[in-house]
Amino acid sequence: MAPAFDTQPVTAPRLRVGRWRAAGLLAVLIAYLAATAYVAHTDLGLQSLVLVAAVFGILAISLDLVAGMLGLYSLGQGGFFGIGAYATTILANDYGWNVFGLLALVLAATGLIGMAVGAMSLRVSGLYFAITTFIFTLVLTVLATDMVTVTGGLQGLLGPAFPDFPTSLEWLGTPLVWCIMLALLACLCLVWNIRHSPLYPILLSIRDAEPFAEAAGARTAAIKVGVFGVSAAMAGGAGWLFSFLGVVSPSQFDWSVSLNVLVMVLIGGINTSVGPVVGAMFVSMFPNVVNINPWLQEIVYGALSILAITLLPDGVVGIARRALARRAGEIAPVADAASAEALPAAPTVASAASPKDSEIIVECRSIEFGYGLGPKVLRNVDLAVRRGHIHGLIGPNGSGKSTLANVISGRLTPHAGEVLLKGTRVDGMPASSRSRLGLRRTFQAAQLVKELTPTQNVMVGLFDRVPRIVGRAPLWPMLASGRRDLAAMQRRASEALGLVGAGDWTSRQVADVPHGIEQLTQLASVCVAGPDIIVLDEPATGLSAKEVRHLAAILANLKTQGVTMIIIEHQTRFLFPLCDRVTVLNAGEVILTGSADEVRADPVVRQVYLGE
C-alpha cells in the first residue's frame, strides 16, 4: 500500500496566527490588570460587588473543571468552600496563624479531603456522585451550625483582616483586590492551560468514552480522583479568599450554594474557559442589580435559572461561540464536501508471508467467565496467538467473542484461568497497564469523543507514549517541551489518520463524520501508538464494500510491520483471506482452531456458523 504511506501534507505551523494570538492574549492580560487597578482604587461598594463575583468565579471554575471536563457533577463545592473559609477564620482569629501559611494549609487539606471524598463517591457513578457530594455539603453545614462553640453557630464568625501592603506598594490600592483578582487569573490560566494540553482530549474521553481512555493506557479512576482533588483545593482556596470579605456563616456554604455554583456554570456555559466566570458575575450581582422586594427577587431568580437551563443549554458563551462559528462557516464554506466520498483507492492485498512458528504472544488458558449470576459465557476457553499472525475469532451472536476480547484487553476479569501477554500474566491487571505492554484494542461500537475532532481523538491514543502529560498539563502551553510535544502529537495523529485514509476529516467534529470514518479514527488511535498487538472487535461493521476492502489493505499492511492482530468479525469473506489462524467459538466454547481453509471445510463449523 505504497501511495497511502507517502507523507501526507503536514499542517505547517501557523506562526503568524500564533503571534497574533499571543498579542491578543497580552492585550487581554493588560486590560485585566488595568481593570484590577481601577477596582483597587474605587469605592468599597463596587469593590465588594466585584470581589464576591470573583470569588464565586473561582468556585464556578472549580466546578467546571470536574463537571465540564469529566462529567462529574459535584455538589460538594459549597462544602470545600466552607472548609476553606472556616479553617482560615478560626485558625487566624483564635490561634493567630499567618494567613498565607493558612492558604497553603487550606489548599493541601481541601485537596486531600476532595480526593478522599472523590475516591469514596466514585464507587458510584453519575447521579450518585452528585448525591454523595451533596450529602457531604449537607453534613458540613449541619456541623457548622451545631458546633456553636467553635463555629459560632448560625451567627457565624467575623473573618480575619487581610494584611496591608508594605508602604512601598501602597500606591497599588486595596491589597485584597489584587490578591483575589490575581487568584482568579491564576485559576483561569490553569484551566486554559489544561484545555490547550493533550490532557484535555483525555479528560473528555474519560467523560464520554471511558473504555477508550482506559484502553489507551489512562488510569481513569486515578485521574478522576486527582482532578477532583484539584477542584476541591480550588474551592477551598476560594473559601480562604472569602473569609477576608466579612462574616463567615453556615448559610453561605450550604447545599443551595453548591447548586447556585452549578447554575453559574450552566448559565455561563459548561466546559468553556470564561463561561463559569460570566455566570458567576451574573448570579452574584443579580440581587444588587435587580433591587426589588426580596421575595419577588428570589422568584425572578428562580424563573431565570429555569429559563436559562431550558432555553440556553450551552450557556451564554456556548451561544456566542456557536454564533461565531456560524459566521466563520459562512466566510469559509465547507471545503471538503466534494472529497467526502473519496477514500483513497484500496491497494490490492499483499499476501504477506507470515512467520510460521514464531513464539506465542497472547495466550488464554482455560478461561471461565459469566456475567452476574447468569450462565457461563466462556467455558474453558484456550487461545494461543503467535507473534505476527492475524488471528480470526468467529462464532454466532452470543458465542462470547466480544467477552473474550474484553477479557484479553482487561475490561473484564475472568473468574478462572490465565491470560498471558508476551509471557507475562496479566489477568489481574487493569486495561491501562496492558496498554503499556503494547496491547491496544478497538470497540464494536466506536468509543470516541463526539465533540472533538478525529485528530484530537487519535491523540488520546498517544497518552502513554508521551511522558508526564498529567503532570505538565497545568502549565502546558507555557512549557517549551509542552508546545513541542503537542505539535509532534498533532503531527503524528494526523499522519495516522492519513495512513488509514481518513486524512480529509482531521478538522471536523467526530459527531459530523460518517460511520466509516469513526471506525477508521478508532483504528488510527490504536495504530498511532505503534502497538505490538491489536484486538479488533468487528472492525468492518457498518462499512461499505469499498471501505471494507480498504480496511483489509490497512490490516494487511500492519501485518507486514509485524503487528499481531486478533480480529472478531462476521464477514468471513473479508476475514478469512487475512487470517493465519481462525478460532471458532460457539456458546462459550472453542469448537476449532485452524487455518482458514480448515475452518471453512469443517462440517461442525459449517453447521453452527456458516449455516449449512
Partner 1 sequence: MLQFVLSGVAIGSIYGLIGMALAISFYVTRIINFAQGQLMMVTVMVTAELASSGYPVWLAALAGLACSCIVGILSYVIAVRPILLSNRFSFGWLVSTLGFAVIVENAAAYIWGPTSQAFPPILNGISLPIGGAVLTAQQLLAIVTAAVLAAGFEIVRRYTLFGKLGMATAADPEMASAIGANTAIVAIVAFAVSAVYAGIAGLLIGPSTFANPYLGDTFGTYGFIAMMIGGGTERPIAAMFGGLLLGVCAEGANALINSQASDWFPFIVLVLILIVSPKGLFSTSNPLFRPRRAAVTRG
Q: Residues interacting with partner 1, by CB under 8 A?
A: 67, 73, 75, 120-121, 123-124, 126-128, 130-132, 135, 138-139, 142-143, 145-146, 256, 259, 262-263, 266, 293, 295-296, 298-299, 301-306, 308-310, 313, 371-374, 403
User: Which three cell numbers mark 60?
Assistant: 464556578
- DSSP symbol at 474: G
Q: How far is the CB of 42 from partner 1 (least distance, A)?
A: 32
Q: Smaller CB distance to partner 1: residue 410 or 501?
A: 410
Only one residue has cell 470497540, namely 443
Phi, psi at residue 581, to the nearest 5°?
-135, 150
Nearest approach in angstroms of CB 242 to partner 1 is 22
Minimum distance between the CB of residue 448 and partner 1, rounded to whole angstroms? 17
Rounded CA separation 504/455 (Å): 11
Nearest to partner 1 of 158, 259 (CB atom): 259
* Nearest approach, Cβ of residue 143 and partner 1 (Å): 7
φ, ψ (nearest 5 deg) of residue 473: -55, -40
Of 450 and 465, nearer to partner 1 (C-beta) is 450
Q: Distance between CA atoms of 54 and 67, rounded to whole angstroms?
A: 19
Please identify, using beta-carbon distances, which residue of 126 and 163 lies nearer to partner 1.
126
Cα separations (Å) of 286 from 277, 315, 478?
A: 14, 17, 36
- Measure the CA–CA gap between 540 and 553, rounded to whole angstroms: 12
Separation CA 362–CA 330 (nearest Å): 52
Nearer to partner 1, 123 or 436 (CB): 123
Least distance CB 407 / partner 1 (angstroms): 12
Three cell numbers written together for 142: 449541619
The partner residues of 157 in beta bridges, in order of sequence, read: 248
Question: Burial code of 86-108, b = ≥16 C-beta within 10 A, e = fewer?
Answer: bbbbbbbbeeebebeebbebbbe
Q: Give how far the C-alpha of residue 558 lies from the chain's centroid of Cα atoms, to the nearest Å.
A: 29
Q: Cα(84)–Cα(253) distance, rounded to whole angstroms?
A: 10
- The bridge status of strand 564-568 relative to strand 533-537 is parallel
Cell digits of residue 246: 466579612
With respect to partner 1, which residue has the nearer C-beta, 150 or 478? 150
186 or 296, CB closer to partner 1? 296
Q: How far is the CB of 256 from partner 1 (least distance, A)?
A: 7
Closer to partner 1 at the Cβ: 168 or 397?
A: 397
For residue 121, the minimal CB distance to partner 1 (Å) is 7
Q: How far is the CB of 371 from partner 1 (least distance, A)?
A: 5
CB of residue 142 to partner 1, shortest distance in Å: 5
Q: Pick between residue 188 and residue 378 the one whose CB is nearest to partner 1.
A: 378
CB of 146 to partner 1, least distance (A): 5
- Core vs surface per residue 580-594: b (16+ CB within 10 A) or e: bbbbbbbbbebbebe
CB 172, CB 179: distance < 8 Å: no
C-beta closer to partner 1: residue 450 or 491: 450
Nearer residue to partner 1 within complex by CB, 18 or 398:
398
Give residues with Cβ within 8 angstroms of 584, minimum separation 6.
Answer: 394, 395, 590, 591, 592, 593, 599, 602, 605, 608, 609
Give residues with Cβ within 8 angstroms of 348, minimum separation 6: 553
CB of 128 to partner 1, least distance (A): 6
Q: Minimum CB separation from partner 1 for residue 377, in Å?
A: 8
Which of 55, 66, 481, 575 is closest to 285 using CA atoms?
Answer: 55
Q: Of 244, 227, 225, which is closest to residue 102 (Cα–Cα)?
A: 244
Of the pair 537, 580, the CB lying nearest partner 1 is at 537
